[in-house]
Amino acid sequence: MTYSTNWYHEVDETDGNTIRIFDGTSEVPFILQPHWPDGTSWASKEEAENWAVATIAANNPNEPMEAGFSPSQPLVAKKTPQELAAMRLQATGLTVEDLKALLGL
């Protein structure tokens, strides 16, 4: 999904401040977040709103921050492309040398 200024969110106070984020082209949310990603309940509608706004803003490639994982870190710095590549490599369990060997380099 690409960044769009048409994204918007709703916070449902009757459902524990569940967040729904929409891309502006569908009535079906593409993010449904009932609590912090770490499982902590939203403390307030305002806290949920702040997370939703940060999540939407983070999809702008020029935004350096993104919504955090827990109330203790509501905003975190985005990972650099190099950090993301290193994380993907680490997830495979392969080393750089393994990949070079697989690619015949």
Name the domain count of the chain. 1
SS3 74: strand
pTM score above 0.85: no
Q: Of 43, 37, 94, nearest to 69 (Cα)?
A: 37
Q: Of 72, 64, 37, nearest to 52 (Cα)?
A: 37
Q: What is the pLDDT of residues 9-40, one digit of tens each?
A: 999 999 999 999 999 888 999 999 999 999 99
In a domain, 87, yes or no: no
In a domain, 25, yes or no: yes
More confident residue, 5 or 67: 67
In a domain, 34, yes or no: yes
In a domain, 44, yes or no: yes
Asked whether residue 1 carries a pLDDT value surpassing 60, the answer given is no
pLDDT band for position 4 (50/70/90)?
Answer: low
Cα 67 to Cα 64: distance, rounded to the nearest angstrom: 11
In a domain, 97, yes or no: no
Cα 30 to Cα 34: distance, rounded to the nearest angstrom: 13
What is the domain extent for residue 47?
8-78
